[in-house]
């Protein structure tokens, strides 16, 4: 009779040897023996180390590790209380480091330390996205990762990956615009840069959290195809290309099921379809159950636990509704990422110094590159430092009297910057650097007549206005609100009437209506620029920097357009006593809706002017016929036809065959090209059909897979979704694969 072969894994052998060593030791020796922990052997892989650690934990220790708790940060001098509860206390016996989480919508803020330590105030995420510059996105993530680690935190709750479906969304400034490929590309670059510092990035909010109105109790109705092609896609890119460590499940119900209890999105899509190995945490208060949440794949309850408490978990285990293997799985997902990114091997032990000067210069560059020149009639801008003698800065103190940072408003905490540059100070700095003695006068516009008088007596007038986009509340409409008792629309009209050389600088967290647009000569969209606000804006207005930003969101012409066309779409209507927002526009969201309906917005997606001009020519698509899997190379020439150096963003869109039932085109590639006057460059953009953004494919809901159709695909190259300079065709014949 053949002997049975006994297979024992290396992990089990290590555990057995470790237990034997401990049991053989005398009581006096046992404590030192525990310091020799096999899971701390860095030659093992992160999965094996996680298994070894979990095998050594007691049931109570495991339960303690699946929920956050607001306790004192006694191990970090100067960190103070964990009032926000973004904290999982470590276990010294096992060498498990304490987890401290912070936020970063526009720089590190609102973390586990009280008070918040100083950090760099960056342009908000929407402003950074508007640069369309991967290098700057990487820099944005690098600063966030560096300062998260420097302020004694290990996890950062960024990037924001929800889409700008609704222009009124109060948190659009925390996201990366309306296009899933653009948002996903931003998330990939930011995630990679953050995690190079051993900090875990968290993509949020998964999924369907495109509005703030009743976000904790509402239901969103999204068909499966739209869900995959738009709202899931940037998360898929961040996970597959950015190695995202964590995902935060969102507040709303998705087609009737709470997002943090949704087995389809958390298990079927996230883990089975995408192969996600990281962990899921809930948003604050977004966990609504114990057993259903854990069974669906929610690994960690965020802050002040209500459902993942010791009592609730023990009750579920005792009743058989849960088993310890499920708890082990929850822990393994987080420990895996902590081991992978070195948090056990190099734990946080205290604060580190921050190079605020260097980070401030990077913040300034991001603010400059992300600003979008929307209008420049008769070439008013850039101002000439040699000819301008007097400058009026006019606007509410909130926007014109100080630097504006992301999180501006009573329910969003701004970054505790080490310094800020106001518009007045920034203009003075720039004028001095240009050798100008021009005067700069500021009026807070509380008396519009006096503000108009100042404008009339000045060479140029700069009106600075904006909005307060904040978490927890959508904007009631797209009008510029009354701020500091100033009717901002009336102010702009009055100043434009008083001085034809009026420039409007917008500081806002999303699209706004501009009833005064025809009355003003120039408009510069600055978003929330961060601590270097004044320097960046002055540099742009006087041409030290040439504007090159492009809109990551469409600016609508009317209050109710696209996905906000009806109340059932936004903010939703009562259905069974619950607000329900129906994504009935389907795939026609953002610029896709305008294209599909032949409607013209105020400013289209991808739009942005420059102080120079560019020409695109000589399009070549290779190959012209493909099997739907091989890379496609799109080449063209770009030339700076103006008199100033500058940067342009050529954008590549693809239109699928009519049988696909898609909007007219989708963004699939872009690049930012800097050229001297008269300089030209041959550019190549690649369409990889197998890439994580599925550029040529549609989601097949019945088969739960991506499909590429045979047929003719249109190729478009331009400098906005509405301004296409070059057109080509591409044929896909999947039969070529056989």
State the residue for tokens 């927002």.
Answer: 581
Helix (H, G, I), strand (E, B) or coil at 673: strand
Q: Which of 610, 486, 623, 511 is nearest to 562 (CA)?
A: 511
Tokens describing residue 717: 């190259």
Which pLDDT score, from 0 to 100, does residue 735 have? Answer: 66
Q: Range(s) for CATH 3.20.20.300 in the chain?
A: 37-340
Which pLDDT score, from 0 to 100, does residue 84 have? Answer: 72
Which pLDDT score, from 0 to 100, does residue 33 have? Answer: 42
Assign domain 614-737 to its CATH superfamily.
Answer: Immunoglobulins (2.60.40.10)
Q: What is the mean pLDDT of each run of 10 residues along the chain (738 residues)?
A: 44 48 40 65 96 97 90 82 83 94 93 89 97 98 98 96 97 97 98 98 98 96 98 98 98 97 98 98 96 98 91 97 98 98 95 97 98 97 97 97 74 81 98 97 97 98 95 94 96 98 97 98 97 98 98 97 97 95 98 97 98 98 95 98 98 97 98 98 98 98 96 98 98 74
Strands 614-622 and 632-640: antiparallel
CA distance 110 to 157: 10
C-alpha to C-alpha distances, 559 to 167, 186, 383, 476, 562, nearest whole angstrom: 9, 28, 33, 10, 10
C-alpha to C-alpha distances, 262 to 229, 277, 465, 601, nearest whole angstrom: 18, 17, 42, 36
Tokens describing residue 330: 């929850």
Q: Which of 369, 386, 379, 383 is nearest to 612 (CA)?
A: 379
DSSP letters along 394-411, please?
Answer: ES-HHHHSS---TT-STT
Which pLDDT score, from 0 to 100, does residue 399 have? Answer: 97
Sequence-distant (≥ 6) Cβ neighbours of residue 738 within 8 angstroms: none
Return the active site residues. 283
C-alpha to C-alpha distances, 124 to 479, 529, 706, nearest whole angstrom: 21, 7, 33
Q: Range(s) for CATH 3.40.50.1700 in the chain?
A: 371-541
Helix (H, G, I), strand (E, B) or coil at 23: helix
Q: Is the CB of residue 141 less than 8 Å from the CB of residue 242?
A: no
Helix (H, G, I), strand (E, B) or coil at 338: helix
Domain range 371-541, CATH architecture: 3-Layer(aba) Sandwich (3.40)
Q: Which of 66, 561, 76, 12 is nearest to 310 (CA)?
A: 66
Which pLDDT score, from 0 to 100, does residue 67 have? Answer: 87
State the residue for tokens 């209008």.
Answer: 375
Domain 37-340 class, CATH top level: alpha beta
State the CB neighbour count (10 A cutoff) for residue 396.
23
CA distance 448 to 486: 8
State the residue for tokens 């499909």.
Answer: 707
CA distance 694 to 189: 18
How many helices, marked H, and strands, marked E, lie in the chain?
A: 20, 31
Q: Which of 194, 171, 295, 182 is nearest to 244 (CA)?
A: 194
Q: Is the CB of residue 71 less than 8 Å from the CB of residue 84?
A: no
CA distance 137 to 73: 32
Q: Which of 480, 489, 486 is nearest to 447 (CA)?
A: 486
pTM: 0.94
CA distance 114 to 82: 6
CA distance 498 to 449: 10
Cα 524 to chain centroid, rounded:
22
Helix (H, G, I), strand (E, B) or coil at 208: coil
Burial degree of 677 (CB within 10 A; 0-12, 13-18, 19+): middle
Helix (H, G, I), strand (E, B) or coil at 545: coil
Q: Which of 708, 688, 689, 705 is nearest to 697 (CA)?
A: 708
The helix (H) or strand (E) run that includes residue 282 is strand 279-282
Interior CA angle at 257 toward 256 and 260, to 5°? Answer: 150
User: How large is the C-alpha radius of gyration of the chain?
Assistant: 27
């Amino acid at each position: 009779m053949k002997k049975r072969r006994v297979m024992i894994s290396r992990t089990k052998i290590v555990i057995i040897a470790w237990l034997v060593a401990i049991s053989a030791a005398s009581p006096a020796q046992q404590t030192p023996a525990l310091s020799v922990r096999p899971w701390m052997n860095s030659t093992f892989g992160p999965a094996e180390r996680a298994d070894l650690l979990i095998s050594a934990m007691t049931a109570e220790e495991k339960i303690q590790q699946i929920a956050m708790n607001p306790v004192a940060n006694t191990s970090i001098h100067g960190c103070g209380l964990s009032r926000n509860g973004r904290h999982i206390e470590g276990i010294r016996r096992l060498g498990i480091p304490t987890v401290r989480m912070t936020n970063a919508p526009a720089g590190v803020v609102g973390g586990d330390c009280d008070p918040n330590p100083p950090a760099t105030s960056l342009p908000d995420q929407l402003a950074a996205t508007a640069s369309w510059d991967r290098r700057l996105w990487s820099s944005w993530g690098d600063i966030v990762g560096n300062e998260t680690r420097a302020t004694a935190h290990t996890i950062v709750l960024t990037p924001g990956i929800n889409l700008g479906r609704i222009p009124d969304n109060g948190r659009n400034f925390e996201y990366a615009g309306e296009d899933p490929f653009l948002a996903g590309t931003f998330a990939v670059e930011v995630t990679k840069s953050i995690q190079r510092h051993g900090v875990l990035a968290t993509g949020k909010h998964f999924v369907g959290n495109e509005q703030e109105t009743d976000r904790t109790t509402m239901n969103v109705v999204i068909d499966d195809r739209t869900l995959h092609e738009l709202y899931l896609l940037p998360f898929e890119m961040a996970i597959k290309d950015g190695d995202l460590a964590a995902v935060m499940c969102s507040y709303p119900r998705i087609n009737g099921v709470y997002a943090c209890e949704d087995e389809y999105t958390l298990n079927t899509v996230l883990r089975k379809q995408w192969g996600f190995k990281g962990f899921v945490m809930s948003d604050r208060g977004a966990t609504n159950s114990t057993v259903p949440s854990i069974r669906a794949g929610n690994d960690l309850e965020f802050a002040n636990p209500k459902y993942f408490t010791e009592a609730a978990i023990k009750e579920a285990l005792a009743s058989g509704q849960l088993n310890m293997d499920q708890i082990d799985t929850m822990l393994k997902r987080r420990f895996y990422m902590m081991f992978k990114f070195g948090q056990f091997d190099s734990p946080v032990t205290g604060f580190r110094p921050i190079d605020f000067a260097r980070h401030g210069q990077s913040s300034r560059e991001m603010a400059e590159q992300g600003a979008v020149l929307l209008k420049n009639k008769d070439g008013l801008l850039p101002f000439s430092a040699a000819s301008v003698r007097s400058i009026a800065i006019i606007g509410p103190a909130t926007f014109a009297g100080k630097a504006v940072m992301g999180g501006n408003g009573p329910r969003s905490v701004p970054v505790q910057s080490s310094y800020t540059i106001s518009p007045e100070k920034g203009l003075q700095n720039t004028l001095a650097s240009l050798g100008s003695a021009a005067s700069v006068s500021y009026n807070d516009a509380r008396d519009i007549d006096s503000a108009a008088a100042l404008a009339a007596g000045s060479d140029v007038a700069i009106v600075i206005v904006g909005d307060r986009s904040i978490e927890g509340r959508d904007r009631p409409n797209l009008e510029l609100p009354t701020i500091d008792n100033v009717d901002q629309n009336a102010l702009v009209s009055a100043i434009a009437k008083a001085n034809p050389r009026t420039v409007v600088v917008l500081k806002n967290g999303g699209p706004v209506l501009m009833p005064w647009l025809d009355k003003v000569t120039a408009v510069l969209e600055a978003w929330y620029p961060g601590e270097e606000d004044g320097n960046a804006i002055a540099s742009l207005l006087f041409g030290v920097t040439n504007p090159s930003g492009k809109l990551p969101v469409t600016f609508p012409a009317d209050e109710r357009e696209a996905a906000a066309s009806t109340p059932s779409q936004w903010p939703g209507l009562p259905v069974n006593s619950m607000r329900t927002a129906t994504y009935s526009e389907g795939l026609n969201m953002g610029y896709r809706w305008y294209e599909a309906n032949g409607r013209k917005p105020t400013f289209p997606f991808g739009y942005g002017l420059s102080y120079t001009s560019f020409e695109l020519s000589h399009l070549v698509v290779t190959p012209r016929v493909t099997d739907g899997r091989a890379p496609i190379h799109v080449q063209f020439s770009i030339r700076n036809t103006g008199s100033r150096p500058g940067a342009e963003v050529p954008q590549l869109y693809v239109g699928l065959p009519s049988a696909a039932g898609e909007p007219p085109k989708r963004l699939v590639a872009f690049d930012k090209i800097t050229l001297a006057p008269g300089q030209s460059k041959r550019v190549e953009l690649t369409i990889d059909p197998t890439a994580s953004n599925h550029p040529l494919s549609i989601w097949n809901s019945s088969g739960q897979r991506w499909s590429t159709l045979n047929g003719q695909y249109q190729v478009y190259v331009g400098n906005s979704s509405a301004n296409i300079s070059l057109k080509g065709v591409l044929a896909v014949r999947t039969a070529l694969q056989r």
